[in-house]
Structure 1
């Protein structure tokens, strides 16, 4: 059972999310919060698997709340709720450790699927969001020295997988492109995370650009 904390200062949005999650056979809502301060407190009480996090809230915004929650509970995953996929706050939340974002007008099916994705350790990111995140976070010119160091850490197959993850591809899409089963791709991604000491796919994307495996200039 996936234990979810729902955080949003808009009553209708929060109630809708709670109802949608409660209707799922593999999920349960363990708490609700209307501010970042309440979110941090509820996370300490319930240690949820996934936090559905609004960004713009009174007292403490979702970015700082995400940072505090993950600092105390690194196994918890944060899924950001936003109105616009180009919201600058979303990228700040991703830098704070969130595993992805979801638009507030997403369907019940999309919400449930996104929660399951982040719960299993993957990220909810579109290719356009990945590109924008990289532009905001990283210099345009990769360092060749870092590229050589990165190549020494990973196998050729793992480097190939990392490059495709950095393009925003899912495990299924990667498997189709390199002719591997989805489960095998997931195993490779897991090994990459372990070798590099990274948390999730968002950090893999950032690491790939920082180490020159892909270039933000195309």
Structure 2
């Protein structure tokens, strides 16, 4: 359990394009980190070392700023946060529950404008070293709902109405699980490895482990077929 002194809050302020940093337990604003305006998403990486501030949709240039949280796991103390670097990303997305998408343990950004998964392959991200990346091609520009399985990547497409399955090692498409119009959300059951995609009329269940891998397992209708997920 975290102590109050180990908690730092990051809040996007779209009025001036900054990220407000609040430390606990006193709740004082200790810094404003300048980023590009029109931030739509804030998400932390799995180790809470970085915050990704994503700007996209209806902007002249879509950007993602990578911010150091300033947390030192060895001392358990915070240093001053700062922007490490800013990269171009065409309509960035991908986070779930305020956490970055991952591919093989590395942070990943799903660019909805040019239909790619951009994986940041550097173990440490700084402002000086080369930022190593690996790119996977997604089927089409769309709004995505993404999760990583045991060996495959599962990308739900809102408007296209299917789940694309990519092989994580090769990047090749394994298949497309169709029949999910207006795919507008997803969740997972960690024990079974099954994914649940919300479709227009029902929930599509997809397996990720063993013989169920990359297959539709079942459909779960909504109560009274309301068409609402």
Do they superpose with TM above 0.5?
no
- Larger radius of gyration, structure 1 or 2? 2
TM-score by structure 2 length? 0.27
User: Which has a greater percent of helix?
Assistant: 1
